[in-house]
Amino acid sequence: MEILNSLNEKQREAASHDKGPILVIAGAGTGKTRVLTHRIAYLIESGKAMPWEVLAITFTNKAANEMKERIGKLIDYSIDKMWIGTFHSICVRILRRYIDRIGYDKNFTIYDTDDQRILIRDCIKELDLDTKTYNNSSIKALISNEKNMRNTPDNYIKDNYGNFVNRNKGEVYSLYEKKLKASNALDFDDLIVKTLKLFETNEDVLELYQDRFKYILVDEYQDTNNVQYNLIKILGKKKTGENNVFVVGDEDQSIYGWRGADISNILNFEKDFKGAETVKLEKNYRSTDVILNAANGVIKNNFQRKGKNLYTESEVGSLIRILQSDNEKDEAFTIAAFMRQEHREKNIDYSEISVLYRTNAQSRALEEGLIREGIPYKIIGGVKFYDRKEIKDVMAYLRLILNQKDDISFDRIINVPRRKLGQKTMDIISRYAELKGISNFEACFETDKLELMPSAAKSIEGFVSMIEMLMIKKDVMPLSEFIVDVVESTGLKEMLLQDETVEGRSRVENMEEFLSAAKDFEERYLENSLEDFLAHISLLADIDKTEDAVKDSVTLMTVHSAKGLEFDTVFIAGLEDGIFPILRDEDDDIEEERRLFYVAITRAKRMLYITHANDRMMYGNHELKMKSRFLKEIPAECIEESDSMSFGNKKLQRLESNIERRKNSFYASPAPSAENKPKLKSDNIALGDKIRHKAWGTGTVVQIKGDGKDEIITIAFENEGIKNLILEYAPIEKI
């Protein structure tokens, strides 16, 4: 058929499959969306199904819209009557017609995330539970998980009866469900759960939709959770035995286990649907041969997989560069240097370059490095480090401690963590301050004149006492120790730790990275007061603001956010054990971490760089790091390793002078005067000097090369051998 002529042999085999279940294992870059759209077009054009007899399920609205657009270009039929959408949108259409069968009115409301949070908050309040112990986000995640496992509140309470805290969480879940029902409302998880219940309790409705959908197609099948899997199973397994279920996925890209995705769904497809055919798409249209061989070499170490071997008919391509750095600052500088090289020498747009990392917290050092080097960037799937809520919160505390007239900072954190101060109380404070011509914080010293409720007055007085104590500590404690004290004494740390979700863990990591930034600043600069630190951050943020106007920007993101994307040049940062793979606990899944690395590798089309550091600041302390076990799994013939010495020399040769770079930079700023230039602890170090390194101990300076920002120092350490460091960033001091 002409519509299939543009497909390769395996793609055509999958798209033209006639009857019965079929599993399409589609490796990265093998054209799975192309196969899906051409199959739907083929079914309609060949007369095997009318448009409304095809059900196609995707995971995102973007994917659904893209599929509709592509199909519209392939066939003459209207796509308006097609059932193409996400699991949730498909279920809404069904429930709007038949939800009255299970005790709801058809005009039900769908509660979004914010609605859920408000409802959970009300439940916690009604049950008179401590908001610190019973965190809103954690309970929301618990409810979602239990619903996806189809576990009722009663069962959860029964299973956790011996655990006081969990039993109370179950009570919140129970009350939440009662309030939802009373409001004739469903949350997002309910949309699938209630559709399943409808089908299980109303055979006529189930048969209606089984008859309607002659062909069912599911994209990204490896990402399905328990209820999604059961929905496909109940719709696809017909009494007639005509199970025309077509699923596309890649078990090697199953990376969402933390949010409920179950890899066994794709691995067991042939067991669930007897007689299923399997087609493997292995011809890659994205990456070079070297990149694919590296990806194949890594992923073959997993046991939970069907097995496939990606190949390409395109060029062999350049070897993968493995770049070793001394620390995270040198890593960022190294990445920036090679980015500039790709951009200027090979004419690669910055928009075709991406930096991938395992955790959001890693972006801090990378962002600062790119800002310093004048390379524009944007962050996908998150916000820039110093714009993240938890970072802005601790910054507001620090600013208020420094400047008690800062009303913006006061307003931000007076109720963070929650102090049960309502808007009425805040209005009273601000009106009084305005009347007296004083700051909001200063107004809090006069609680006896504010006519507040006793509980509010007590909270305000406690807040003032805490800030006053921190104002005293600021002048007697080292910067990094002081910020640790602020995070702990204000309750920010406890508040973050209460959120046990993945997002909550990420916020904790961001806060720990902020402490590392403070420690790093303290070690590098002699003038390292709180004022200096806040000014340093403000200047970084100010420089970064100009980036918004630059369309040609490097993309920074976690590997999870990168799935489905591709770039000409990719940098994977932080390939060290404990970072990537992250592995916090013995129970962590090393195979999912390896799949994540596989996804990262296969985002690159032409050039791949992988970086790791010998020393990394973690939670405010230096840690010696071992390079990731995954690097050993890349075939040796695919890589080119650069040690620190060879890279340092090449860096000096390749980079333009600092003056020339500043002249041409979009972010050029006047050079600081001699008297205003920050003084480094590494200043005035000469050949033969004895020095002390925070992590590597004592050593002797044996060589100094380069000038200014690019000055490289070679040190012979007593216990660690010879190391090369960028002098500006080196955490050293003269003995």
CA separation for the pair 148, 183 (Å, rounded) = 21
Virtual torsion, Cα 538, 540, 543, 544, nearest 10 deg: -110
Looking at the chain, the number of H-run helices and the number of E-run strands are: 30, 22
pLDDT per residue over 316-374, tens digit each?
Answer: 999 999 999 999 999 999 999 999 999 999 999 999 999 999 999 999 999 999 988 88
- Give residue 78's pLDDT: 76
What is the per-residue DSSP string for 251-265?
Answer: GGG---GGGT--THH
pLDDT per residue over 663-680, tens digit each?
Answer: 343 333 333 344 444 444
How large is the angle between the packed helices 363-372 and 530-544, nearest 10 degrees?
70
- Give residue 729's pLDDT: 58
**Structure tokens that stand for 509 in this block:** 């990591």
Virtual torsion, Cα 639, 645, 649, 654, nearest 10 deg: 40
β-pair partners for 616: 623
* Residue pair 630/594 in contact by the 8 Å Cβ criterion: yes
CB-based burial label for 551 (10 Å; 0-12, 13-18, 19+): exposed
Closest alpha carbon to 331 in 503, 575, 554: 575
At 607, give phi and psi (nearest 5°): -135, 135
CA separation for the pair 44, 84 (Å, rounded) = 14
- Give residue 114's pLDDT: 84
- Give residue 675's pLDDT: 44
Q: Which residues are tagged catalytic?
A: 32-33, 219-220, 253, 603
DSSP H/E element including 510: helix 502-524
- Give residue 664's pLDDT: 40
- Which parts of the chain register pLDDT below 70? 1, 541-550, 584-588, 642-683, 694-695, 706-710, 720, 724, 726, 728-731
CA separation for the pair 432, 127 (Å, rounded) = 35
CA separation for the pair 22, 14 (Å, rounded) = 8
CA separation for the pair 358, 462 (Å, rounded) = 40
Look at the chain and count its residues: 735
CB-based burial label for 443 (10 Å; 0-12, 13-18, 19+): buried
pTM of the model: 0.79
- Give residue 1's pLDDT: 65
For residue 11, what are the contacts with CB-CB under 8 A and spacing of at least 6?
31, 34, 35, 38, 281
How large is the angle between the packed helices 188-201 and 87-98, nearest 10 degrees?
50
- Give residue 527's pLDDT: 80
